[in-house]
Structure 1
């Protein structure tokens, strides 16, 4: 029994050593010959992958990008910097900005641009859920959007696969929305991607309009609150210097309120407006086909080499 076990172990070790030697003896020329003998398989598999790539590329709808170039609007504080050293604490208590925070405020506005709060409210206000989620294609002949019935159904309440507003927001951020800040110039590039060039421009314009409108309204509300506080405080003081500073602060808040009421481009000024794009942004169909071709060629070549080496080993072992 022990002798049989020893023979079995010796036999297995011998096969492993032979396999190791065979693998080490394989040259580049052998691999080349293996591929050459089965070249038709590599070509056939690659051709199949190219066909799949063409079908996949043609199934992807054209996407268009509409872009606008923005600059953070400059809203001067009207000489309030001189007041900041005298009554900084009092101004902060009243919610008054005394200059020096323009850059921080611009960054805050940019972050709000892509915030969930603003964009979900924006999508709901303009009823964009269908246009952002359920569009299947765009018809140039009729200039109309073609919707996917299944995705349309998912937007209805009660559907087991209901797609919420938050989910539409996430997809919009991932696939349709681009916001870039140039750190050197301070300019902002806002772009919207969509199957329809007209819808891409429409959404881009609405985004700029709505963010300016929202920030304007917020500034007016804050200015009114500050004015109410300062006027109440003014009535409760008899110190002449303090009254003078209160008057200056109230004047500043009235100026802020006036600018917010008059300037439509209050937070962001349009440098280069969005246009209806004439050329598609994507997809790059040629690149898709090339990737499929490379993938098919690599897989086919690898498979041919593996099976060819196995066949060689089996022949040598026999």
Structure 2
């Protein structure tokens, strides 16, 4: 048998508003308490600054023409040589190197950034100094009972400080570094762009030298005129790659818009924290008041 709620048991909107109005002082008090809590949380959070650099993948591939490229493809593959073109575009590879564990851990260790990335907990703008957590500073000592590893610092850097975004329409790359110190963000942004270009330049030079050595040995072992011609073309391209990597500092990534010291904080949004905290408190106490009134009525 279907149960039908009696008219006396139904709760109207007017009754709900009446319940809330009767407990208005409690609702106001709890809401203000949550606002105060939000203010405390907002004040306790240190400012985070963000420096950005816009980069463009540099194009360094030599153009040899479609026919020549097709003819040299097999020999180039044997020597580990890239002939350029969309199919062999190294931009994606360079991008992966940019955010790889190997490169970033080497970068952190090279510039001794462990202290700033792991132990910093705030920034004093008056003294222009970072504020450090003493317990975390002790963990940076290799002889401490619980030393922190470079891999842990790398993970923290990736999660909290390092953002690499690619615009699919323009192909431009935005590197963002976030930290408590505005000067530190600019410094790290500039250093990381310089180091990634240097690392890739060094690797490209090394690969080109290896390819040239292989091709020259193969050239000495053949008497076929056409094959020799192909080897000469491959050797010429590797010398071109080596030359470009040697003279071009921005070999892999060209800086379109350099980083500057940020003047405005990136986060936290303290006003939003306070508003959201007050809304949560108000909604929560209203729900409690309504549920309590309904139980008393039943």
Q: TM-score over 0.5 for the alignment?
A: yes
Equivalences, count: 296
Secondary structure, counterpart of 2:92 in structure 1:
helix
Q: State yes or no: 1:282 paired with 2:267.
A: yes
Aligned to 1:256: 241
The CA deviation string for residues 128-147 of structure 1, in whole angstroms up to 9 with x for no partner, is: 11111211111112211111
State the shift of 1:158 in Å: 5.0
Aligned to 2:223: 238
Secondary structure, counterpart of 1:25 in structure 2:
coil
Q: 2-side partners of 1:23 and 1:183: how far apart? A: 62
RMSD value, Cα: 1.9
State the shift of 1:169 in Å: 1.5
Q: 1-side partners of 2:219 and 2:88: how far apart? A: 31
Indicate conservation of the 8 Å contact 1:67/1:191, yes or no: yes
Indicate conservation of the 8 Å contact 2:82/2:88, yes or no: no
The CA deviation string for residues 203-228 of structure 1, in whole angstroms up to 9 with x for no partner, is: 10111011100100000000000000
Q: 1-side partners of 2:147 and 2:288: how far apart? A: 43
Larger radius of gyration: 1
Q: 2-side partners of 1:199 and 1:99: how far apart? A: 37
Q: State yes or no: 1:53 paired with 2:53.
A: no
In the alignment, which of 50, 57, 74 is matched to residue 65 of structure 1?
50
Q: 1:180 to 1:26 in 2, by over 3 A?
A: same
Q: 1:42 to 1:23 in 2, by over 3 A?
A: farther
In the alignment, which of 97, 111, 116 is matched to residue 131 of structure 1?
116
Q: 1-side partners of 2:6 and 2:139: how far apart? A: 61
State the shift of 1:177 in Å: 1.2
Q: 2-side partners of 1:105 and 1:203: how far apart? A: 25
The CA deviation string for residues 250-309 of structure 1, in whole angstroms up to 9 with x for no partner, is: 111111001000000000000110001111111100000011001100111111111122
Q: 2-side partners of 1:161 and 1:80: how far apart? A: 59
Aligned to 1:6: none
Q: State yes or no: 1:121 paired with 2:80.
A: no
Q: State yes or no: 1:228 paired with 2:189.
A: no
Q: 1:217 to 1:279 in 2, by over 3 A?
A: same
Q: TM-score, normalised by structure 2?
A: 0.94
State the shift of 1:81 in Å: 4.6
Aligned to 1:110: 95
- Structure 1 unaligned blocks of 5 or more: 1-16, 314-318
Q: 2-side partners of 1:225 and 1:123: how far apart? A: 29
State the shift of 1:172 in Å: 1.4
Q: 1:160 to 1:22 in 2, by over 3 A?
A: farther
Secondary structure, counterpart of 2:90 in structure 1:
helix
Greater helix fraction, Structure 1 or Structure 2:
1
State the shift of 1:171 in Å: 1.7
In the alignment, which of 166, 184, 190 is matched to residue 199 of structure 1?
184
In the alignment, which of 279, 298, 305 is matched to residue 283 of structure 2?
298
1:74-223 map, 5 Å: 74-79=59-64, 81-101=66-86, 104-157=89-142, 159-223=144-208
State the shift of 1:241 in Å: 1.6
Q: 2-side partners of 1:218 and 1:268: how far apart? A: 15
Q: 1-side partners of 2:278 and 2:210: how far apart? A: 65
Query: Once structures 1 and 2 are overlaid, which stretch shifts more, 157-166 or 297-306?
Result: 157-166
Q: 1:225 to 1:24 in 2, by over 3 A?
A: farther
Indicate conservation of the 8 Å contact 1:78/1:252, yes or no: no
Q: TM-score, normalised by structure 1?
A: 0.88
Q: 2-side partners of 1:103 and 1:45: how far apart? A: 63
Indicate conservation of the 8 Å contact 1:81/1:98, yes or no: no
